[in-house]
Structure 1
Amino acid sequence: MKLTFYLGALQALHSRPVPHSRLVLYSRLVFHPRQPLLARPFVTEAEKVASARRELLEKIYEPFAKLDKNSPEYNELATSGRVWEDYWQPGDSDKYGYTRVQQEVASTLLKIDTLKNAMSVPASVVAKQLVNSYAQQSAAIEGNRLNQSESMVIDEQLRSEVFSKTPLGSMSADDIRNLDLPDPSVVLPQADKLQLIELRNHLVASHWISETSPRAQCSSGLDESEVRALSALTMRDLDPHEKNRYPTWCGDPVMLGGYRTNPAGIKSNPLAVFPYPLEVDACMRRFFQWRQRVSEEKELHPVIIACQTVVYFLHIHPFPDGNGRVSRMIMHDYLLRHGYIPIVFTPFSRPEYLRMMMNAQDGRPGEFVSRVVTIQLEWMQTFQLQDMARNSHHE
């Protein structure tokens, strides 16, 4: 049977970790006649997963099967991103359970909004106090081992050498990606240099978001060029040989801020199917259109939209690396624009977070949304008590 799927052939069907990488790239697979798996006496678990992934890919990309891969129709369909998107429908809030979960947590969301409206100190001020915790936590989810104390040392270096001289609030995302940043190994010489740089980059991005996002109240969030710039900032200086590219462990060379040029997968869920590289541009364009639309419709609560935004973005997985950190920056920004506090997931393990993301992508976002809503409520209550203490002191 001849298969004429997109990109000439479906991509490889087993996870193969790349050193230091959180992204597992798949090499091309060429189909040959083979003995059915069920007819063979010994079938490994990897073969079962490979077979299941192959069947899923064939199902998703079936619209290409009847097209000549050199035809204009084939190329137009490939670059439209519609095949992947029509199959998964990542923006369908009913299908993926967000509408239902919003009803389940409605009373908690009401408490959050009541506390938010009563706060004497706005969330934008609170966010600046949480930058160090937020950035360190977000980096830790991706395996960064630096602790809060070390994060504070890097943050103080940035405040002294950069923020005291640079008005972040008046800078664009492109400006901050090109800032002259200090070497954090100067202040923490015993720590892993790449992890220091990774956390430094996250701190700079988080400070910029805390300064700029509250000025765009109730808007739909960072635009595509800003997200690309934040991705570039997140991954800068992590490859000593290629300053303006994503690290070489991410696959084919890609300039910082560019979308990936390799098929992608994740080791934790080998059956997760992300858009092929030719589809990513169109899928990202509709991601931003979707967020604009649901923000204007106001049928979903902003905290629920922030949750679905993270999962939708990660399902596209647009960049060669750093997608998890950028997804949380998008969430951080969106919450601030709507008057809510950034989410600090502590204590939290990477496997726990990955499980929640995988479940949400499979239409079970309950645990993730519940965590976010609970953390938001706890922070609101914490700052309400601080307000009461300040008022009592003034009396």
Structure 2
Amino acid sequence: MAHKSKKLAALAVLRQAVEPIGLSTLADRLGSVPSRTLRRWLTVWIQEGVIEKLGGGRATRYRYCIAEVTPNASLTFLEGLDSDLRQSLLKQLRDLWTHNSTAIEGNTLTLGDTHFVLEEGLTISGKPLKDHQEVIGHAKAIELLYTALSGPLSESVIFDLHKAIQIEKNADIYKPVGGWKIETNGTYAITEEGVQTFIEYALPIYVPALMSELIDYVNRIDLKTVNASNAHQHYARIHMAIVHIHPFWDGNGRIARLLANIPLLKAGLPPLVIPQDQRREYIQILANYQISVGPLDETTGIWPRTKQLKDFEHFCESIYSITKALVGNAHELQQKRTRA
């Protein structure tokens, strides 16, 4: 059992690494696994196409393959598509999701750049290394999310996603990667009336309980009731709760845009992707809600005023057509093949 656990841990390290890593680095992160055992695992994974080997000798590095996307869960929107069309659609969604979510946070890679980096594993001249690392990390987070769909949401799943999207792997105790924040945080904002204000997020002491409430909510959703007509409402509620709590020192928006898609994906629907070209409207809607409701604590719960979620629900409904169109295009291609 311990052997299997270590093997899964080794694969998780490779999956979450934003850059290729060597045998010594992998061994250091795992601890008590003999190098001979690690080499045997790596050889098998290379043969299976799970990882790829780069370089040779002392310069040998290993990288987790992210080109193929194979969700564990059954996604209804993929049904009826040939294998190549399924993979193409999943990659389109991955690229679109990754590009927009990272661009909202300031990433300078275009959609085309993002596709090139994820498919070819090469760098874009003149673009910052951190931007490359961010898109690779986000793509791996999507893969982790797909894998997690087969079970309930948990704190450990959320922490794994946070580790994947964070490019700063420092040992700063005040900036935990894969752990709740330990310092207060907030942001400067402008009200609808043009007044400058400061939004205070939930204090660190309240984060575990608030996130536990959110996790329980997500796991209790009756997936039979989630459909294309109300999916945006589920997305909006979960997303708003996470950004209002702001449970991490960094990466809260990307985490929110990942986790909010869980009920949609589990119900067999495509993910909802917030477009970066509507960033200003998106940020303002979030700010308006948070200013109106005020900070969350142990007495408020995660949605003190659900009626005030309407603006964000309408916004999410209006943009869901983007990914629905990609799915529709894939099925049109399939129909043409079938008729031919």
Aligned match for 1:231, one of 162, 167, 183: 162
2:340 equivalent to 1:391: no
2:245 equivalent to 1:324: no
2:304 equivalent to 1:368: no
Partner of 1:207: 143
Note the C-alpha offset of 1:393: 4.1
Native 8 Å contact 2:144 2:161 kept in 1: no
The 5 A counterparts of 1:299-318 are 301-318=230-247
For residues 215-272 of structure 1, the C-alpha deviation after alignment (integer angstroms, 9 at most, x for no partner) is: x2xx6x5321110111122113x3xxxx3446xxxxx623311211111111226443
Partner of 2:180: 259
Structure 2, unpaired ranges of 5+: 1-75, 191-196, 293-306
Q: Judge which range, 371-380 or 252-261, deviates more.
A: 371-380
2:283 equivalent to 1:354: yes
Native 8 Å contact 1:254 1:260 kept in 2: yes
Note the C-alpha offset of 1:348: 2.1
Q: 3-state SS of the aligned residue for 1:267?
A: strand
The CA distance in 2 between the partners of 1:128 and 1:336, in whole Å, is 15
Native 8 Å contact 1:360 1:366 kept in 2: no
Amino acid at match of 1:327: A
Structure 1, unpaired ranges of 5+: 1-115, 159-183, 247-251
The 5 A counterparts of 1:1-395 are 120-121=80-81, 126-158=89-121, 187-210=123-146, 212-213=147-148, 216=150, 222-236=153-167, 238=168, 243-245=169-171, 253-268=174-189, 270-295=197-222, 298=225, 301-346=230-275, 348-361=277-290, 362=292, 363-377=307-321, 379-395=323-339
- Identity value in percent: 22
Note the C-alpha offset of 1:383: 3.2
Partner of 1:89: none
The CA distance in 2 between the partners of 1:357 and 1:197, in whole Å, is 27
Amino acid at match of 1:199: V
The CA distance in 2 between the partners of 1:143 and 1:354, in whole Å, is 13
The CA distance in 1 between the partners of 2:284 and 2:156, in whole Å, is 30
The CA distance in 2 between the partners of 1:204 and 1:335, in whole Å, is 19
The CA distance in 2 between the partners of 1:312 and 1:356, in whole Å, is 13
Q: Judge which range, 141-150 or 189-198, deviates more.
A: 189-198
For residues 75-116 of structure 1, the C-alpha deviation after alignment (integer angstroms, 9 at most, x for no partner) is: xxxxxxxxxxxxxxxxxxxxxxxxxxxxxxxxxxxxxxxxx7
TM-score of the aligned structures, taking structure 2 as reference length = 0.60
Superposition CA RMSD, Å: 3.2
Q: 3-state SS of the aligned residue for 2:182?
A: coil
The CA distance in 2 between the partners of 1:117 and 1:156, in whole Å, is 23
- Count of residues paired in the alignment: 238
Larger radius of gyration: 1
- Sort the Cα spacing of 1:382 and 1:134 in 2 relative to 1 into closer, same or farther, 3 A: closer
- Sort the Cα spacing of 1:337 and 1:253 in 2 relative to 1 into closer, same or farther, 3 A: same
Amino acid at match of 1:131: R
Q: 3-state SS of the aligned residue for 2:261?
A: helix
- Sort the Cα spacing of 1:208 and 1:283 in 2 relative to 1 into closer, same or farther, 3 A: closer
Note the C-alpha offset of 1:278: 1.5
TM-score of the aligned structures, taking structure 1 as reference length = 0.53
Native 8 Å contact 1:295 1:302 kept in 2: no
Amino acid at match of 1:224: E
For residues 294-326 of structure 1, the C-alpha deviation after alignment (integer angstroms, 9 at most, x for no partner) is: 447959944321220000011110100010011
The CA distance in 1 between the partners of 2:131 and 2:179, in whole Å, is 22
The CA distance in 2 between the partners of 1:386 and 1:198, in whole Å, is 28
Note the C-alpha offset of 1:195: 2.0
Q: 3-state SS of the aligned residue for 2:179?
A: coil
- Sort the Cα spacing of 1:195 and 1:117 in 2 relative to 1 into closer, same or farther, 3 A: closer
- Sort the Cα spacing of 1:245 and 1:339 in 2 relative to 1 into closer, same or farther, 3 A: farther
The CA distance in 2 between the partners of 1:313 and 1:289, in whole Å, is 13
Native 8 Å contact 2:223 2:266 kept in 1: no
Does 1 or 2 have the higher relative contact order (CA < 8 Å, sep 6+)? 1
Amino acid at match of 2:218: R
